[in-house]
């Protein structure tokens, strides 16, 4: 796909000729996610882009629901089945490209994507994670079903049919179905035009046509990209561990403050004391929190040690992988130098050969010219 043509087309048809850098960046993240998840059908790509265009109010960036669920059933600490929850202390209102809602949906999506969305629902606002949520929710994906409503793109865009109106059922019934279908057609047209232009450019090199080509060698090793992706994932894992540690510390403080209890039981059958006016004490119970808190403090210390060890392990792994990246980069540069050296050597040999051929031709031509002059004199 010729991306310059694609952005030019949607800039005119969908963004009134004013496609901002933030909007383009948001679209770029989704296109990369399509490639990463193996989404090849242009119709699927176009409909997901149209959905994001509508749900994000044309920003193409993950957004929070206006009002954060106030007045909505999911705006309170209740699950979809009506039962209340106290942990995590979060509200699951709409977030992301497709406005993911409800406790259960955050829990399931986090499980399928391997991300702690239930304890950190704000992760749904990360552009890469938001794009993955949209793809997993709108296709059969890991769960083998449409996760938002049970319907998926496979149901409405296949070799037998193309139904952008009813495809709205994948996300939210038929709400604004016709409008989003119109967006879909414009995105699809731009994708197809960009692909046709690319094919014309590729097919434009005809036989016997002289083509001047500039070859630029650059280090773009697949191994380097894989290692860099791994480093990013490990950094996110460390951030999740840090969040869990902070939450554990808050829970321990809560246990300390709520565990003290002092009970006094009076003998109501006995007459009251003439001085104090109170009945005699039958029993007194004082519950100390020392042993329980020490255990909690010990647990917290263990968590801190585990986290510290895990962090050191991650740091060592990162250093090792950074060294691997540097080593791979050095190897690529060495290969590039060898290729350049071979090319220069080849050019030198070719120059020598051309020089020899020219010299031989000059000698032959010179000898014939001399013989011709001698015959003319005779």
Q: What share of the chain is helix, strand, coil (3-state, %, to 5)?
A: 60, 5, 30
CA 204/CA 50 separation, integer angstroms: 32
Neighbours of 296 (CB within 10 A): 19
DSSP-assigned letter for residue 215: -
Tell me what pLDDT residue 132 has. 95
What pLDDT, on the 0 to 100 scale, is given for residue 218? 46
Residues of the chain with pLDDT under 50: 205-220, 251-258, 290-297, 372
Q: What is the pLDDT of residue 225?
A: 55
| The pLDDT of residue 206 | 45
pLDDT score at 356: 79
Tens of pLDDT, residue by residue over 193-233, are 988 877 776 665 444 444 444 444 444 455 555 565 666 66
User: CA 315: distance to chain centroid?
Assistant: 22
pTM for the whole structure: 0.55
Q: Which of these, 216, 187, 166, 235, lies nearest to 49 by C-alpha position?
A: 187
- Alpha carbon of 269 to those of 87, 281, 284: distances in Å? 45, 11, 17
- Give the Cα-Cα-Cα angle 72, 183, 65 (nearest 5 degrees): 20
d(CA 228, CA 70): 41
């Amino acid at each position: 796909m010729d991306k310059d043509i694609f952005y030019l087309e949607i800039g005119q048809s969908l963004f009134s000729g004013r496609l901002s850098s933030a909007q383009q960046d948001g679209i770029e993240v989704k296109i990369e996610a399509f490639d990463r998840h193996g989404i090849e059908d242009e119709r699927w790509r176009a409909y997901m882009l149209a959905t994001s265009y509508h749900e994000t109010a044309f920003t193409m960036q993950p957004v929070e629901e206006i009002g954060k669920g106030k007045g909505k059933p999911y705006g309170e600490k209740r699950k979809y089945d009506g039962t209340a929850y106290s942990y995590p202390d979060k509200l699951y209102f709409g977030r992301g490209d497709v406005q993911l809602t409800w406790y259960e949906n955050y829990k399931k999506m986090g499980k399928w994507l391997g991300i702690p969305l239930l304890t950190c629902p704000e992760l749904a606002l990360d552009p890469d994670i938001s794009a993955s949520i949209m793809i997993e929710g709108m296709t059969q994906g890991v769960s083998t079903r449409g996760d938002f409503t049970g319907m998926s793109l496979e149901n409405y865009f296949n070799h037998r049919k193309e139904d952008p109106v009813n495809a709205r059922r994948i996300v939210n019934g038929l709400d604004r179905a016709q409008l989003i279908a119109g967006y879909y057609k414009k995105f699809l047209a731009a994708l197809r035009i960009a692909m046709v232009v690319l094919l014309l450019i590729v097919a434009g090199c005809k036989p016997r046509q002289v083509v001047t080509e500039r070859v630029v060698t650059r280090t773009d090793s697949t191994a380097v990209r894989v290692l860099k992706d791994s480093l990013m994932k490990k950094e996110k894992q460390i951030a999740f561990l840090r969040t869990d540690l902070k939450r554990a510390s808050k829970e321990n403080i809560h246990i300390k403050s709520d565990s003290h209890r002092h009970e006094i039981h009076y003998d109501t059958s006995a007459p009251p004391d003439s001085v104090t006016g109170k009945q005699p004490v039958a029993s007194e119970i004082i519950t100390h929190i020392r042993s329980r808190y020490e255990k909690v403090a010990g647990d917290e210390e263990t968590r801190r040690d585990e986290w510290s060890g895990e962090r050191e392990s991650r740091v060592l792994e990162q250093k090792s992988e950074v060294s691997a990246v540097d080593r791979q980069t050095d190897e690529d540069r060495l290969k590039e130098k060898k290729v350049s050296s071979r090319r220069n050597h080849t050019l030198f040999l070719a120059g020598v050969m051309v020089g020899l051929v020219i010299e031989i031709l000059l000698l032959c031509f010179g000898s014939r010219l001399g013989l011709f002059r001698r015959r003319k004199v005779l």
